[in-house]
Structure 1
Amino acid sequence: MVCFHLGEKEDMDKRSPPSSSSSFDGIGRVMGAIRLLVMVVFLGLIMMWIMMPTNIYKQIWLPKLRADTNSTYFGRQGAYLLVYTFPVLFIAVLGCFYLHIANKSNQNRMESNKGQKQKLTIWNSPMLVKGPLGIVSGTELVFLIMFIALLVWSLSTYLCISLAKITPELAAHDGKKVWEEKLGSTAVELGLVGNIWLAFLFFPVARGSSVLPLLGLTSEGSIKYHIWLGHITMTLFTAHGVCYIIYWAVTNQISEVLKWDNFQTSNIAGELALLSGLIMWVTTIPRIRRKVFELFFYTHYLYILFIIFFIFHVGIAYTGIMLPGFYLFLVDRYLRFLQSRRKVRLVSARVLPCETIELNFSKSHGLSYNPTSILFVNVPVISKLQWHPFTITSNSNLEPEKLSVVIKTEGMWSRKLYQRLSSSSSMDHLNVSVEGPYGPVSTNFLRHDTLVMVSGGSGITPFISIIRELMFVSRNFKCKTPKVVLIYAIKNSSFLTMLDLIPPVSTTTSDFSNLQLQIEAYVTREKEAKKDKANLIQVKWFKPSTTDAPISAILGPNRWLWLAAIISSSFIIFLILIGIITHYYIYPIDHNTNAIFSYPLRTFLNMLVICMCIAITASAAVSLNKKHNAREAKQIQNMQGSTSTVMSNSLTNNADIELESLPQQSLGQATNVHYGERPDLKRIISECTGSSVGVLVAGPKTLRHEVATICSSSLAKNLHFESISFTW
């Protein structure tokens, strides 16, 4: 698929010399080689997952692997590190190089390929609209079927092989009944299959990982996969635990519940892991999660205990199967921790009458992000632990020194923030920390002839960033931008102030001249326009603090190269250190018999070394980039200091701005407001012409499902559907 990626200055055809085409071809060959290598490694890994439950793997492959890797440096865990951990980390490093090349190259060209557009429509069009899984595209459905097939294959193969070995003679020899032996064997196999799903669980929540972008996914859009995997994992582990408790009860071995074996599986560690997982699982029930979000949020920190006790339960060797996903998550989580320790410079806040806030931060020039990106925000005065994601509405090209997010008052956290900022009492400073931005590596909105954006309430925020990017492209590059139709359904006229956020503060009327923008706003609960002086926007300016710094990329502009260095170097250092510990400390005691040296101690040493290696390498990478960020922060503070007097004179701390005074004339001319009616989405979307019509929707679930149903119709072959949802 050839597409033009917004957010990158790519008038390559205008500015690059003809001889540069050969360099583009060379870059294309390099990226193609990386993709091919990733595919080969991935297929090999899939083959190992498929073969794992079979007798061929257990009786031939695994013994040979253990014999070849059972050295004095790694012991039994060497086989699992080689087969399961190393390939995934290798793919992650290759992905970093691929994404770095993609970001730095000018390979994205404005070309149209109708055959490819049709192919893309088939894979991205919604296949399932209603149901427990929500809106599922063709690509997602294929992966879902593959995962279900792997689940059925693994569980059925494990059970068939293990249960076939149980005979009345074997059961009588062990002093048990046949069904009791089968129950115990089933409990074991359920745990083995659960470990497979645990291996995938942490990939969707590694926000800065290079694996998700390789699949064309974003962290915020992959949360639903984490939810699906979590339900399946906990179902298998719960069945595993229940079967074992019943087995111990009927065979008079109930004392096994409290067993902590130093040389075999630790039962009590497994029970503590299961208990932690069950508490997290219960709080993910939608009704509990929405009504008592704080309970859901805080109990999810139990994942730390869940993983620690799980590793103690199965031993460090077998942990190598689920380790790579959690390893990448640890790297990402520690980088987020380092970024969250910085206090960022909050310049101003706009308080809208629709109980919505726009926070404007200072940002470094080197920080770039694409439309629909999100930023995680923490306000310690409200909650020191809670982090909430919000859509970025600013554009890194139009606004190189500012980053803006919009917060709609919905929960307790956002309501406290709104009340604090909207109160009449003066506030000179507000401490804020952030993580991110996170978002798509690239976007391809320019491949469409028409863009239809359907939003409800605060769902307009991701579309503001898209419109601003189209404004930048239409103003700076000689290329045709798609016609934009924004359908905005709201309850009352106070939400119309959200339209004032579309043009940046520095925008002139001419910025809209090359953009075909049509806004259709539907006020559903009001019959006519109201001249309400309460519809005023408050603007609050904050004084800078010496400890504040502009938002900057934690690993700098070459973040993918630095991430590759962290992953590879930390894993290599881990192998070296654990090899030394095993060779000079563990092996002289145990001699690879696994019957003398304590399992828990070996597990603890491995976990300690992994955490140390990640912390050391990530801290070193951040420190090397910190000097550059500090210099840029000082330059920005000097520039802000010279303009602060002008800003404070033009707008006082609690300046009220009327609704009609903010939008540019061209924006007002493009806006039609309809009172007392709902949009006829089917008619509006069907009337949009063009060989490729991009239909984007953000808002309530019912609205997303309605638009998805329209786009999944067999008559809508030119519609390219995309749902933008950040709700869990």
Structure 2
Amino acid sequence: MAGILMWVTALAPVRNRLFNLFHGTHQLYIVLFAFYAWHVGKGNMGKCMGGVFLFFIDRFLRMLQSRRRLTGVSARVLPSGIVELKIPIKQGISRLEWHPFSAASSSLNASSTISVYVKPLGDWTCSLQAAIVENLATRSLGPKLECPFPLKLHAEGPYGQESNYFLRYKNLMLVAGGAGITPFLAILNDLLKRHQLKQQEAPVCVQVIWCVRSISELSTLRDIRPAQICPSFTDGLTLELEVFVTRDDAKNDFTQFNSKKLEFGDTCTDKQDACKGDSCVKTISCLTPITSSQNLLMVAIVLASVAGFILMSGLFNHYVNTSRTSAQGLPMALDVFLFFLSTGVGIVVFGGGVLLLWNPAWNSSRTNLTADDGRMDIKLNMDVEAQPATLMDMCTITKGPRPQFQEIFENAATRYRGEGTGVLVCGPNGLRESVALQCRAQNFKHRRAQFHFHSVSFDL
């Protein structure tokens, strides 16, 4: 029954419209696995135990990552209706509501926050937007210590592909539809930061194609200031932005794109540590989230967990089995229970112990790296004011028709002849299918550029 419920809620109509039901129902995997183990026994369960063991390790780390509750640093509603939240980067939305969002900031930035964009579609996201608008309308101009949201935030992740997979290409084509621009903002942030650090593996030519319904959605591009991140980015990076506005009849007036920001202190947690003046300063002790770049730490946690599992299994098998010898040995239920207990002790005690011992040293090096990065001297070889202030000033806007991908890819094939080009697409299924079709058509032609298609989706 648990497996049937998980299968039904995993269907696309249920998962997309009732994500919280999908997420909550899939916590029944524990019941499914437990009854499977008690049904087939410990011996047959070993056929799938390798993958299950790694999954439990990952689930334990995610539980540690999201155990703290806090609110965002700031929130605002953009003219397009999208909600921008900034939350502390080291911390982990309500215990009863889980939603997947895309980050719009880079891990290379010295900022201590991470930005996510929330498009109001369902009841929960619309209520979040309404709460921010209501607080903006009612609160005074001065800062307040109380948080505007009664519910605290948790965070897990990141999920999806390896974060730096786009670095393998010299040229990039980023195709987005609507809110699909969000993950590409993080990529652009990352590329600008890498060019500032003079990293050689960063792509040198980036073409962004964005389809929107209303011109007000372009306000999202105001958050990235290339000249501020990397003043000399034009020397090593060619950045082109093409925006296609399909359903907008408003005037092309960018001065209307103003959005007020709702500030509520540095952070708001359950416990206030110290207050200075009008701002509240908190000290938060937290395990740093595990990322894919910490391969050595992950290997150590896995090896320690496996060693602890083997040790506890041996101890239980020796002492419990020998003290209750019988012709048939231990009952299957008790045998499987001891197997689960060995798994839990191995992961929590041994794997968690390695994480606790490793984390202070890693946090110290991470803090020093951030501090050094913040003190980095940037030599301005050109006039920053002469460069585009934001990405909005760099984009080319076309109103009316949808982009002609055949023409776009024909021009790109001529431009990038003989080179590999990464094509990243985030948007509706129709958009992804059209881009994938053009990538395949161009790859079949001789002496042309090779387009490598990657689908970036909001779905889990």
**1:166-315 matches, cutoff 5 A:** 275-315=1-41
CA 695–574 in structure 1, closer or farther in 2 if over 3 Å, else same: closer
Question: Could you list the runs of 5+ residues in structure 2 that have no partner in the other structure?
Answer: 274-281, 372-386
Aligned to 1:702: 430
CA 562–489 in structure 1, closer or farther in 2 if over 3 Å, else same: same
| Cα pair 1:344 1:434 within 8 Å, conserved | no
Deviation at 1:627, TM superposition (A): 4.0
CA 614–704 in structure 1, closer or farther in 2 if over 3 Å, else same: same
1:483 to 202, 205, 208: 205
| Cα pair 2:225 2:390 within 8 Å, conserved | no
Aligned to 1:397: 108
| Cα pair 1:339 1:554 within 8 Å, conserved | yes
| Cα pair 1:378 1:388 within 8 Å, conserved | no
**Distance (Å, rounded) in 2 between the aligned partners of 1:684 and 1:304:** 49
| Cα pair 1:452 1:685 within 8 Å, conserved | no
CA 359–721 in structure 1, closer or farther in 2 if over 3 Å, else same: same
Deviation at 1:498, TM superposition (A): 1.7
Structure with a larger share of its residues in helix? 1
1:600 to 325, 329, 333: 333
Confirm whether residue 522 of structure 1 aligns to residue 244 of structure 2.
yes
CA 344–627 in structure 1, closer or farther in 2 if over 3 Å, else same: farther
Aligned to 1:443: 164
| Cα pair 1:311 1:319 within 8 Å, conserved | yes
Deviation at 1:720, TM superposition (A): 2.0
Query: Any idea what SS the aligned residue of 2:156 has?
Result: strand
Deviation at 1:703, TM superposition (A): 0.4
Deviation at 1:337, TM superposition (A): 0.7
Confirm whether residue 720 of structure 1 aligns to residue 441 of structure 2.
no
1:332 to 21, 34, 58: 58
Deviations 1:92-118 (A, max 9, x none): xxxxxxxxxxxxxxxxxxxxxxxxxxx
Between structure 1 and structure 2, the one with the greater Rg is 1
Confirm whether residue 318 of structure 1 aligns to residue 27 of structure 2.
no
Give the AA of the match of 1:725.
S
CA 551–346 in structure 1, closer or farther in 2 if over 3 Å, else same: farther
**Distance (Å, rounded) in 1 between the aligned partners of 2:260 and 2:106:** 22
CA 478–506 in structure 1, closer or farther in 2 if over 3 Å, else same: closer
Give the AA of the match of 1:469.
D
Deviation at 1:708, TM superposition (A): 0.3
| Cα pair 1:555 1:625 within 8 Å, conserved | no
CA 625–504 in structure 1, closer or farther in 2 if over 3 Å, else same: farther
Deviation at 1:321, TM superposition (A): 0.8
**Distance (Å, rounded) in 2 between the aligned partners of 1:476 and 1:578:** 49
TM-score, normalised with respect to structure 1: 0.52
Give the AA of the match of 1:566.
I
Give the AA of the match of 1:721.
F
CA 338–698 in structure 1, closer or farther in 2 if over 3 Å, else same: same
**1:1-20 matches, cutoff 5 A:** none
Q: Percent identity?
A: 30
Deviations 1:110-147 (A, max 9, x none): xxxxxxxxxxxxxxxxxxxxxxxxxxxxxxxxxxxxxx
CA 550–459 in structure 1, closer or farther in 2 if over 3 Å, else same: farther
Deviation at 1:395, TM superposition (A): 2.0
CA 516–555 in structure 1, closer or farther in 2 if over 3 Å, else same: closer
Deviation at 1:330, TM superposition (A): 0.7
Aligned to 2:218: 496
1:564 to 299, 310, 335: 299
**Distance (Å, rounded) in 2 between the aligned partners of 1:618 and 1:284:** 31
Count matched residues.
415
Deviation at 1:351, TM superposition (A): 2.2
**Distance (Å, rounded) in 2 between the aligned partners of 1:555 and 1:446:** 21
Deviation at 1:718, TM superposition (A): 2.1
**Distance (Å, rounded) in 1 between the aligned partners of 2:228 and 2:126:** 29
Deviation at 1:506, TM superposition (A): 4.9
| Cα pair 2:120 2:126 within 8 Å, conserved | yes
| Cα pair 2:196 2:230 within 8 Å, conserved | no
Deviations 1:137-179 (A, max 9, x none): xxxxxxxxxxxxxxxxxxxxxxxxxxxxxxxxxxxxxxxxxxx
Deviations 1:50-103 (A, max 9, x none): xxxxxxxxxxxxxxxxxxxxxxxxxxxxxxxxxxxxxxxxxxxxxxxxxxxxxx
Query: Any idea what SS the aligned residue of 1:536 has?
Result: coil
Query: Any idea what SS the aligned residue of 2:157 has?
Result: strand
Confirm whether residue 416 of structure 1 aligns to residue 127 of structure 2.
yes
1:351 to 77, 82, 98: 77
Confirm whether residue 617 of structure 1 aligns to residue 346 of structure 2.
no
Give the AA of the match of 1:406.
Y
Aligned to 2:376: none
Give the AA of the match of 1:678.
R
CA 514–579 in structure 1, closer or farther in 2 if over 3 Å, else same: closer
Query: Any idea what SS the aligned residue of 2:176 has?
Result: strand
TM-score, normalised with respect to structure 2: 0.79
**1:32-51 matches, cutoff 5 A:** none
